[in-house]
Amino acid sequence: MALVGVLGGMIGLGGAEFRLPLLIGLFGFVALQAVVLNEAMSLLVVLTALPARLFSVPWSSLSPHWFVAVNLLAGSLVGAWVGATWATRMRSATLYRVLAVLLVLVAAALAWSHSGHVGALDLPPAVRLVAGAAIGIVAALMVWPGELLIPTIVLLYGVDIKIAGSLSLAVSLPTMLVAFARYSRDASFAVLRQQRAFVLAMAAGSIAGTALEDSSSASCPMSS
């Protein structure tokens, strides 16, 4: 369990998209239970990693871009509640298909974000609000939407990618909390009490993996 968490953490902040198929395929949880477990683990990882991530980018660099987080949160908080509500009401077979499609989209987003630099798009506020809502829905199902948030912030607002990474945390954490609050009203939330040791072991591994990923990034800075 901890080893899976370490490998996931080294992929990204907590490796939520890596853990989810393993929770279903390897550990045998049904789709909604896997989503709830993934949500809890990612919250623990983000809360632990947040101070270090924000320390690496001074607040003075982030404050001029506060409107970016506010604009995206206006849509993502609603989207997170809606996405979590849909998840709790979907048939299990439908949720499996939705998760499979989202995993493919995340993989495409990862490939796109590493393919080169893309200039900012001048889009109307309504489109940006819809983008925030879509990210909130993904966050409710996939938990950590950084793979979508970071390129979205760069593309829609023209923000430097390092600042976009920290801004994505400012959007992701409240979005995840809203989804978590919605899931807490569903019977599937009981899996957290039943699998407390499992959650803590895998979350600890994810935190360790995130720390390893951060240290390797610091020693091998990205080329411009």
Q: Whose structure tokens read 């970071």? A: 150
Query: Closest by alpha carbon to 156, among 37, 72, 61?
Result: 72
Could you tell me if residue 224 is inside a domain?
no
Coil, strand, or helix at residue 143? Answer: coil
Other C-beta atoms closer than 10 Å to the C-beta of 212 total 13
Other C-beta atoms closer than 10 Å to the C-beta of 24 total 19
Two structure tokens written together for 10: 């080294």
Could you tell me if residue 19 is inside a domain?
yes
Coil, strand, or helix at residue 184? Answer: coil
Q: What is the DSSP string of 185-202?
A: TSGGGGHHHHTHHHHHHH
What confidence score (pLDDT) does residue 181 get? 93
Q: Per-residue pLDDT for the chain (224 aa), expressed as one digit of tens each? A: 444 444 444 444 556 777 788 889 888 999 999 999 988 888 877 777 677 666 777 777 888 888 889 989 999 999 999 999 999 999 888 998 988 888 787 777 667 666 655 556 666 777 778 888 888 888 888 766 666 787 788 888 888 877 887 888 888 889 889 999 999 999 989 999 999 988 888 777 777 766 665 555 544 444 33
The total domain count for the chain is 1
Domain that holds residue 26: 2-219
Q: Contact, 95 vs 132, CB < 8 A?
A: no
Q: What is the pTM of this model?
A: 0.77
